Amino acid sequence: MLMFKIVWGEETLSIYRSVKKNKFQKFVFIVITVLIGIGLVVPLAGLFQKQPGGNGSPSAGQAGQTVQDRLNSLETRAKENPRDTAVLMELGEAYYRLGKPDQAIKTYEQVLSVEPNNGAARYEMAVIYYFSNKYDQAIDQLNEIIKNDPGNGEAHLLYGYILGQGKKDYTAGIQELEKYIAVAKQGPDVEHAKQAIDEWKALADQKQ
């Protein structure tokens, strides 16, 4: 699982909980997008059964602070310490949540200038590029993650969906999903990956 440095102040903890929940929601949306795209029925209960964050109720800190307020605070902190990668990661997420993907990318690039092997930053960039249909840029980031962490299941899963659903390279997409299955072993996402593999095999046969 991708991890990154966290400064456990009360404000940071509150934002981290929000970021963690939002990251999971983005990942689920990727899976839903792919399965709908290939015409598969999605068991939504299974997709959401492991969602982090408990009942999703905002903490006291979140309730009194809007996303824009948190963004302003993070921007100030990032200017004060531009090498604080924990703050930069949160800032990138805040930009993305406010519909500013270009600024999010620049912020994650700033993280990489300090920590070139920060897999979390590269994964977030890959997600943004995926939703922007910039598949080659997404693949570049995922290749870097996998080079440093060959057993990173999330990277293989997203890579497979980009190849199969995005670039229609079904054979390569199947190979990446199989690598994910080998790592994850079981669970709802494994079953969805197996469904995608079956569908892509049929589509690959039609192309021959």
Q: How far apart are CA 52 and CA 192, in angstroms?
A: 20
CATH number at residue 115: 1.25.40.10
Confidence (pLDDT) at 57: 45
Q: Is residue 174 part of a domain?
A: yes
Confidence (pLDDT) at 16: 35
| 113-132 pLDDT per residue, tens | 999 999 999 999 999 999 99
Instruction: With a cut of 80, say whether residue 62 has pLDDT above it.
Output: no
Q: How far apart are CA 177 and CA 186, in angstroms?
A: 13
- Pull the structure tokens for residue 105: 């990318």
Instruction: With a cut of 60, say whether residue 39 has pLDDT above it.
Output: no
- The verdict on 180 and 94 lying in the same domain is no
Query: Residue 170's domain spans which residues?
Result: 150-201
Q: What is the pTM of this model?
A: 0.72
User: pLDDT band for position 67 (50/70/90)?
Assistant: confident
Q: Is residue 177 part of a domain?
A: yes
Determine contact, residues 153/124, Cβ cutoff 8 Å.
Answer: no
Q: Is residue 40 part of a domain?
A: no
- The verdict on 24 and 90 lying in the same domain is yes
Q: Is residue 39 part of a domain?
A: no
Q: Which of 113, 138, 163 is the last residue of a domain?
A: 138
Average pLDDT of the residues in 30-44: 49
- The verdict on 133 and 197 lying in the same domain is no
- The verdict on 95 and 172 lying in the same domain is no
- The verdict on 160 and 120 lying in the same domain is no
Based on the structure, what is the number of domains in the chain? 2
Instruction: With a cut of 60, say whether residue 41 has pLDDT above it.
Output: no
Q: Is residue 193 part of a domain?
A: yes
Confidence (pLDDT) at 207: 78
Average pLDDT of the residues in 190-199: 95
Q: Which of 87, 113, 138 is the last residue of a domain?
A: 138
- The verdict on 102 and 81 lying in the same domain is yes
- The verdict on 183 and 131 lying in the same domain is no
- The verdict on 158 and 131 lying in the same domain is no
| 168-180 pLDDT per residue, tens | 999 999 999 999 9
Please choose, from the candidates 39, 21, 1, the residue with its C-alpha nearest in 3D space to the C-alpha of residue 200: 39
Triad 121, 124, 125: Cα angle to 5°: 85
Q: Is residue 145 part of a domain?
A: no
User: pLDDT band for position 31 (50/70/90)?
Assistant: low
Instruction: With a cut of 50, say whether residue 5 has pLDDT above it.
Output: no
Average pLDDT of the residues in 25-42: 53
